[in-house]
């Protein structure tokens, strides 16, 4: 089985998430236009999943990519995820083919197991290996995995003779949810696994947090931009805020240029204290 090649190279450390897109026919044209606008602004990293809108989010993204041009596909980094119910060897293959068809692209840059389910890891890894050999994915990884899950996953990779395996763990991570800092982030760094932060604005409430807004105003930025800049303060973390609002898409994009100073980081630690114990992971 061929293994993916090392560290991921994202076109930017900020991308666009599509969770909750594709759920409504009435919103479809607005969502497609929003993704198209993100492409115009400069976004090249996009995250989706077969779960989102029962494939609807992938269709929204795929429709927006039509005008971008197939010849420009190498500029993009597209991530999708397989549901645990489809994570058998044959199920992974069928699910990935369906995602690629909805997206209208020849391959996925990164394909993730959405969360741990009843299937054995060997089955899923064999499916990922088949996809790699067929050129349908470039890398694979996991989502919503804790340390115990990752240890078992690595054991399964070794048992199958994989020299390099899961390149990324996608996790709920924001100023209000720092539980992964307690143990998980350190483990991933020690094992060369990158982190992709979803819901980096919480459920949107960080964009309106009074204390965060005061700090952001002193810097001349928005609360959302400060929260996003904080989420990518470390080089091995990328973030994928979701928005279907063109103005917010532009605002979020500006956060990638914002570098926070040590004093600002200390103030944010006071507002949102780092964890002192392990906290459960969310699943999105």
Give residue-wise pLDDT tens across range 24-79: 999 999 999 999 999 999 999 999 999 999 999 999 999 999 999 889 999 999 99
| Spatial distance between the Cα atoms of 178 and 188, rounded to a whole number of angstroms | 15
Taking 70 as the threshold, does the pLDDT of residue 189 lie above it? yes
Q: Residue 194: phi, psi to the nearest 5?
A: -80, 160
Hey, which residues does 239 pair with through a beta bridge? 14, 197
Q: Given CA atoms 7, 12, 17, 18 in this order, what sign does their dihedral have?
A: negative
CATH of 16-204+234-244, one of 3.40.1360.10, 1.20.210.10, 1.20.1630.10, 3.20.20.100: 3.20.20.100
Of 90, 91, 85, 95, the closest CA to residue 116 belongs to 85
* Across 141-146, average pLDDT: 98
The predicted pLDDT at position 275 comes to 87
Residue 277's pLDDT band (cuts 50, 70, 90)? low
How far are the Cα atoms of 14, 46, 223, 277 from residue 255, in angstroms, in the given order? 8, 16, 10, 29
Report which secondary-structure segment, H or E, holds 200. Answer: strand 200-203
* Across 237-250, average pLDDT: 97
Contacts of 173 (CB under 8 A, 6+ apart): 180, 195, 197, 198, 199, 200, 231, 237, 239
How far are the Cα atoms of 20, 31, 204 from residue 24, in angstroms, in the given order? 9, 10, 20
Q: Which two tokens stand for residue 60?
A: 């929204």
Residue 281's pLDDT band (cuts 50, 70, 90)? low
Contacts of 117 (CB under 8 A, 6+ apart): 83, 84, 85, 87
Q: Which two tokens stand for residue 51?
A: 């779960």
The predicted pLDDT at position 162 comes to 75
How far are the Cα atoms of 115, 154, 238 from residue 182, in angstroms, in the given order? 20, 20, 19
Pairing of strands 16-17, 140-143: unpaired
* Across 183-192, average pLDDT: 95
The predicted pLDDT at position 70 comes to 83
Q: Which residues of 85-112 are buried (b: 16+ CB within 10 A; e: fewer)?
A: ebbbbebbbebbebbbebbbbebbbbbb
Q: Which sequence positions are flagged as catalytic?
A: 52
* Across 202-226, average pLDDT: 96
* Across 224-251, average pLDDT: 97
Mean pLDDT of the chain: 94
């Amino acid at each position: 089985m061929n293994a993916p090649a090392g560290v991921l190279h994202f076109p930017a450390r900020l991308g666009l998430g599509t969770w909750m897109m594709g759920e409504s026919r009435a919103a479809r044209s607005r969502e497609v236009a929003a993704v198209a606008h993100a492409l115009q602004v400069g976004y090249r990293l996009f995250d989706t999943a077969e779960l989102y809108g029962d494939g609807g989010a992938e269709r929204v993204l795929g429709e927006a990519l039509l005008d971008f041009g197939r010849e420009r596909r190498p500029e993009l980094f597209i991530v999708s995820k397989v549901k645990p119910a489809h994570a058998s060897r044959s199920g992974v293959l069928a699910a990935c083919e369906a995602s690629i068809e909805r997206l209208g692209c020849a391959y996925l840059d990164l394909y993730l197991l959405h969360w741990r389910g009843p299937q054995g890891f060997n089955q899923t890894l064999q499916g990922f290996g088949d996809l790699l050999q067929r050129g349908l994915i470039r890398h694979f990884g996991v989502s919503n995995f804790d340390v115990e899950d990752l240890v078992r996953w690595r054991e399964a990779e070794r048992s199958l003779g994989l020299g390099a395996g899961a390149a990324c763990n996608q996790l709920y991570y924001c100023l209000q949810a720092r539980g992964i800092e307690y143990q998980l982030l350190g483990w991933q760094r020690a094992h060369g696994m990158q982190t992709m932060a979803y819901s980096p604005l919480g459920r949107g409430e960080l964009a309106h947090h009074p204390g965060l807004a005061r700090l952001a105003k002193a810097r001349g930025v928005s609360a959302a931009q400060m929260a996003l800049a904080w989420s990518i303060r470390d080089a091995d973390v990328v973030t994928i805020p979701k928005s279907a609002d063109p103005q917010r898409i532009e605002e979020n994009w500006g956060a990638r240029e914002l570098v926070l100073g040590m004093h600002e980081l200390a103030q944010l630690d006071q507002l949102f204290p780092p964890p002192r114990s392990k906290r459960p992971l969310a699943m999105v």
